[in-house]
A and B are shown apart, each in its own frame.
Chain A
């Protein structure tokens, strides 16, 4: 096809040759940094207000990771205004940029980068305006807390606010400040949201109360794929306070004047409803892992390298690592408020992605997206895709029956444990060959269900959809591609091996719905990869740290490994004493984000099998650090959460139903069991910021497993490391 033909087809316009560059520019806008690429208007990111404040908009949301504080720091620094002047507006489909999900430790990279550039450019525009107004060359002007001065003249951002038009596309041409000139970035600034949270002021969606609001509860089937046969609707509707009962296929929800009335009505429904149930859940334990390897799978080679040929004398070893279904287990069950009034639906939600949620709410309810507003309000920590979106769907369905009154629907504890999308069980088979103290061949096979079934894309990814009389099903799940990957996240080694093959056996059919749990597949992949590195080091009779360094070229990786060795006083060749040991592990999250090296010290009671993690040292390189205290909080939280997953956590279920309904069936780590955590940050102000929210979980599990092997000489490969299992292992 000739060039002209191409133009006609793509744009439908016939143009002269000389106009071509302009047309091309239009159809392919210039690349802009971070989320500016998809949200290109400056005033979509910030507004300078005449009252001396700055409003900053982001599509990212606060999940307890301190992101709004970090973003405010960036804007304040680039604008040269005091941090206190910044007001943050986060994800709201009616007024914030659309930045998709707040997930994958990418917010500083996406939203932060956009704000660096947008704020630097806004500052430049303000300086230009000041320059013409004051008659002083822009180069002679300087800014201090929004006051512009130079050449004996003075004005302020706030005076210029009226005449400064930020309704323009960002150019991306004004460079952010060099590291030496920053003074807010890099400071441990206190989180903006904590004071109201410790004073008991309204802070969470659970605390929001709207005029005329009623309370809702949902009643889920007793088990997966159960169908509702009978329900005495009249008996429920007659209960005190009941305002609305929604039955649509197998979906049941009730609204009442008072919260406890809604709970009682839901209990009544549960008692009255008759269901037809099926028993098709997978088996537990080793039978589950065998079954996973037999399910229909989509296989793909994630990474393959064939270098030197392997000599016949090489030693081969193999090992299989497993991880069960695990829960997000938020402390506060998911909650949403929905109001359907005059054809418009408004939803207040702690979803990680209000825009994709809106899209799927539209499918679920049949209300056009243009008539739906989804507003983010803080919730309890979610750690990935928990019930946040689903409960918003439930609330939206119920809100159509409450005569325009807003309804607050919070899941009960058993709803959250019973119906959240779990972290997928995984089987990982490792095989490696050693020659002359080096790894010459490496193979990593993963069997896993999906790690993202969030709203967005095809299908209706809201739990209630499948229960409706006209069912709407989940979209066919896809595994996000490398380099981030999903089930295969962190499966490609950062180490340098001459031969390697990483294969994903992806299992799209889910007997129990699975989705993104913090780190996706990386927790299990790093567990397997870094345990196996130790197994090979033992086979090669080389200290595990030395063994890693032998295979690692990446200078920043080597630096965190060496810093961890130093901080923890790692002694090559030190022996475990049967009860105490220490383990090492490393990962660069997603092979794209923060570098984290961990040393864990453990103690194990051989008779009871009780394992306790005493101390964890974590060394982190997260590039340019916006808020060191925020990074530490995330890394430490990740260490402790991972310790809990590793020692304790596994969903309970039988062939018919999920048995985990309360914390008794899903114990997590408690205060006396939490290890001491020591964190060292290597600041690299000249490098770009790297995400840290999920950096420490993978290295932590592997360091604990390696410490167990170091202490006892036995290798724990089946998560979690409960006393029963360790007792057997050590017997």
Chain B
């Protein structure tokens, strides 16, 4: 069956059964490699994408349910060559060993920062609690998310600190 879905701001079509997990369509039909297969049952987070702004596990999301939805993948964050502050921060903190989990971490963190621009460390850890990393890169990932958050709200935060000092 043919399906047309909105991925990274473009309408894209795929010939596949309606129950096909979105993950395989993104990877194999559209050549988008960001989302990874990790468990196929929604447990690990490797396959995370944003659907209508919400971090969603594409391994358990059927292609047929994508009608009128907007899918964003990791690739969309660096469209046009400039990287998203989260990607930049992952590089600056060297927040990867094998990096296989990085897609899920970045996409889940993006959803967090969209709703909570200044998360506490505990909030970051909680938001990422169901994203698994086996290499033990957790603390660097947390630092990368903090760094990105700082950068994204940069001006205001610096001002707040200065005010705090004055008071």
Which residues of A come within 8 Å of B, CB atoms? Answer: 63-66, 190-191, 193-195, 197-204, 206-207, 209, 215, 240, 258-260, 329-333, 378-381, 383, 410, 412-413, 629, 633-634, 636-641, 644, 662-664, 668-672, 674, 676-677
What distance in Å separates the Cβ of A693 from its nearest Cβ neighbour in chain B?
A: 10
CA distance in complex: A64, B94 (Å): 11
What distance in Å separates the Cβ of B113 from its nearest Cβ neighbour in chain A?
A: 15
Which of A194, A207, A333, A674 neighbours the largest number of chain B CB atoms within 10 Å of its CB? A194
CA distance in complex: A195, B102 (Å): 11
List B contacts of A383 (CB < 8 A). Answer: 134
Contacts beyond the supplied A198-B83, A331-B101: 9 A-B pairs with Cβ under 8 Å: A204-B33, A383-B134, A633-B94, A636-B140, A663-B43, A664-B43, A670-B130, A672-B122, A672-B129
- Is B138 a contact of A674 with CB atoms below 8 Å? yes
List B contacts of A330 (CB < 8 A). Answer: 100, 134
Closest to B107 in A: A200
Q: Does B57 contact A (CB under 8 A)?
A: no
CA distance in complex: A636, B90 (Å): 16
- Is B131 a contact of A671 with CB atoms below 8 Å? yes
List B contacts of A203 (CB < 8 A). Answer: 33, 99
A637-B137, A671-B125 known; A193-B41 Cβ under 8 A: no
Query: Using a Cβ cutoff of 8 Å, how many contacts connect chains A and B?
Result: 169
Q: Does B117 contact A (CB under 8 A)?
A: no
Closest to A262 in B: B24
- Is B134 a contact of A662 with CB atoms below 8 Å? no
List A contacts of B43 (CB < 8 A). Answer: 662-664
List A contacts of B24 (CB < 8 A). Answer: 258-260
A63-B98, A258-B16, A640-B136 known; A663-B39 Cβ under 8 A: yes
Q: Mark B10-52, 1 if CB is under 8 A from A, else 0.
A: 0000001100110010011001111111111101101000000
- Is A332 a contact of B94 with CB atoms below 8 Å? no
List B contacts of A215 (CB < 8 A). Answer: 28
Q: How many residues of B contact A (CB 8 A)?
A: 59
List A contacts of B153 (CB < 8 A). Answer: none
A sample of 20 cross-chain residue pairs with beta-carbon separation below 8 angstroms, ordered by A number, consists of: A63-B98, A198-B74, A198-B102, A198-B106, A199-B74, A200-B34, A204-B100, A206-B36, A258-B28, A259-B24, A259-B27, A260-B16, A331-B134, A332-B98, A333-B38, A380-B100, A637-B136, A671-B142, A672-B122, A674-B136
Which residues of B come within 8 Å of A, CB atoms? Answer: 16-17, 20-21, 24, 27-28, 31-41, 43-44, 46, 73-75, 77-78, 83, 87, 90-91, 94, 96-103, 106, 122, 124-126, 128-142
- Is B96 a contact of A64 with CB atoms below 8 Å? yes
B interface majority secondary structure = loop
A207-B33, A672-B129 known; A677-B90 Cβ under 8 A: no
- Is A332 a contact of B130 with CB atoms below 8 Å? no
CA distance in complex: A27, B33 (Å): 51
CA distance in complex: A721, B95 (Å): 28
- Is B133 a contact of A331 with CB atoms below 8 Å? yes
What distance in Å separates the Cβ of B82 from its nearest Cβ neighbour in chain A?
A: 11
- Is A64 a contact of B125 with CB atoms below 8 Å? no
CA distance in complex: A197, B130 (Å): 20
What distance in Å separates the Cβ of A270 from its nearest Cβ neighbour in chain B?
A: 14
CA distance in complex: A215, B128 (Å): 31
List B contacts of A670 (CB < 8 A). Answer: 129-130, 132
A260-B21, A663-B39, A664-B43 known; A636-B139 Cβ under 8 A: yes
- Is A198 a contact of B96 with CB atoms below 8 Å? yes
CA distance in complex: A380, B134 (Å): 9
- Is B128 a contact of A671 with CB atoms below 8 Å? yes
List A contacts of B74 (CB < 8 A). Answer: 198-200
- Is A333 a contact of B91 with CB atoms below 8 Å? no
- Is A332 a contact of B36 with CB atoms below 8 Å? yes
List A contacts of B102 (CB < 8 A). Answer: 197-198
List B contacts of A329 (CB < 8 A). Answer: 134
A663-B132, A670-B132 known; A194-B96 Cβ under 8 A: yes
Closest to A204 in B: B100
- Is B73 a contact of A200 with CB atoms below 8 Å? yes
List A contacts of B140 (CB < 8 A). Answer: 633, 636
- Is A209 a contact of B91 with CB atoms below 8 Å? no
